[in-house]
């Protein structure tokens, strides 16, 4: 019989991964996703907005630009500092607080809109994280999510990483499950008046596969940690496998790299 999943230990490892490198270097390139999600949630001026697992704040800034009263949270304080720098540059009034997506320090129904772009999907306890999003969102409010799909490029990239690293603890659920309508229905079904899902593409733009790997190896926590855990020969094998999927997905031809990355844009209307 398998031992129960050690959520705190898994969370500690994940926090170490996201604290390594500097996700903000990657995150800022994804700003378009936050803008699109803020529009999909139809944010009104002065609405109370919570961004969960906000990273360096793409959805935070998008909501604040639309007049939302935004609280931006993450469990990596350095990423919140990057977000705060961006908010100050735009003269946006945003509150930044360290918080765990699975134990949000807010009262029930505290927010009109709750957002997360490629963030809460990585929480180890998926059901608890979804329950927390729903708990702090008022009835009739909106929960807006951007989640990578299993079939899309990032989902495939994590599968490649998984082939080169020790298996996750028994009972751990893949983050990309959040990028499936079936899992969203399981997580939010009894708390949702409706769940609107739109499949979208983000275009990763780099000079080449080698450039993409160099940037992600240096700055993107999970890839940074993966390479750091491997001896030189196995790191080279990982690089070859990543190059293969990048080249296969590249739609720009040999002179550049443009890789479409599928994600779900989700708006859950709270029951």
According to DSSP, the residues that pair with 72 across neighbouring strands are: 51, 96
**170 pLDDT band (50/70/90 cuts)?**
confident
Cα three-residue angle 194-199-201, rounded to 5 degrees: 145
The domain that holds 68 is classified in CATH as 3.40.50.150
Question: Residue 50 is part of which domain span?
Answer: 7-203+263-270
User: Given the DSSP bridges, would you call strands 257-270 and 137-148 parallel, antiparallel or unpaired?
Assistant: antiparallel
Count of domains forming the chain:
1
User: 248 in a domain, yes or no?
Assistant: no
User: 112 in a domain, yes or no?
Assistant: yes
Average pLDDT, the chain: 96
User: 151 in a domain, yes or no?
Assistant: yes
What are the angstrom distances between the C-alpha of 111 and each of 118, 189, 217? 20, 20, 37
Residue 60, CA atoms < 13 Å, CB-side half-sphere: 32
User: 217 in a domain, yes or no?
Assistant: no
Tokens of residue 5, six digits: 């999943």
Q: What is the pLDDT of residues 47-81, one digit of tens each?
A: 999 999 999 999 999 999 999 999 999 999 999 99
Enumerate residues 6+ apart whose C-beta is below 8 A from 136: 50, 104, 106, 107, 108, 109, 110, 111, 114
User: 30 in a domain, yes or no?
Assistant: yes
């Amino acid at each position: 019989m398998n031992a129960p999943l050690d959520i705190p230990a898994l969370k500690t490892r994940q926090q170490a991964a996201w604290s390594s490198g500097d996700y903000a270097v990657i995150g800022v390139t994804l700003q378009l996703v936050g803008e699109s999600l803020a529009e999909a949630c139809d944010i009104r001026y002065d609405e109370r907005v919570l961004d969960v697992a906000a990273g360096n704040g793409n959805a935070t800034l998008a909501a604040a630009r639309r007049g939302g009263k935004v609280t931006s949270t993450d469990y990596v304080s350095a990423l919140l500092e990057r977000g705060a720098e961006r908010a100050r540059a735009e003269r946006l009034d945003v509150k930044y607080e360290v918080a765990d997506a699975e134990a949000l320090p807010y009262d029930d129904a505290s927010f009109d809109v709750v957002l997360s772009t490629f963030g809460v999907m990585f929480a180890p306890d998926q059901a608890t994280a979804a329950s927390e999003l729903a708990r702090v969102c008022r009835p009739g409010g909106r929960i807006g999510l951007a989640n990578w799909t299993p079939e899309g490029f990032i989902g495939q990239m994590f599968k490649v990483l998984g082939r080169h690293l020790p298996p996750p603890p028994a009972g751990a659920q893949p983050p990309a499950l959040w990028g499936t309508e079936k899992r969203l229905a399981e997580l939010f079904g009894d708390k949702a008046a409706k769940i609107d899902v739109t499949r979208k593409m983000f275009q990763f733009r780099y000079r080449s596969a080698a450039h993409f790997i160099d940037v992600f190896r240096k700055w993107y926590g999970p890839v940074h940690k993966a390479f750091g855990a491997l001896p030189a020969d196995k790191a080279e094998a990982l690089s070859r496998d990543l190059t293969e999927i990048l080249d296969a997905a590249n739609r720009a031809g040999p002179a550049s790299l443009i890789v479409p990355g599928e994600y779900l844009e989700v708006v859950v209307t709270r029951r």
